[in-house]
Amino acid sequence: MTQQEFKDAVSIAKSDVYLFDEDMDIMYGCGLPDFQPVTVTLRQVARHIRWQALYFDGSWDSEELSEIQRIGRRKFIIIP
């Protein structure tokens, strides 16, 4: 995942777009060292971002966003 793709996914995650239909099971365990790269859509990454980095009060965890970006750089292959 490129930096621009990550920015696009964050933009989608921060919008009011409905993402609960997006399957993010394929990304479970993505932080583990033996996790192999997976092919995903921006909407799947956006849902993953919401799940991992959005607090209940509506604020965002910037450390978690950085971690998702770091992991996604190597492990998420974005398809249109």
What pLDDT digit, counting tens, does each position of 41-73 carry?
999 999 999 999 999 999 999 999 999 999 999
Question: What CA–CA distances, in Å, run from 38 to 1, 56, 62, 63, 79?
Answer: 10, 28, 24, 23, 10
Tokens coding 24: 């993010």
Average pLDDT over residues 10-23: 97
pTM: 0.93
How far is 50 from 3, CA to CA, in rounded Å? 18
Helix (H, G, I), strand (E, B) or coil at 78: strand
Give, in order, the Cα–Cα distances in Å from 17 to each of 10, 20, 37, 73: 12, 9, 26, 24
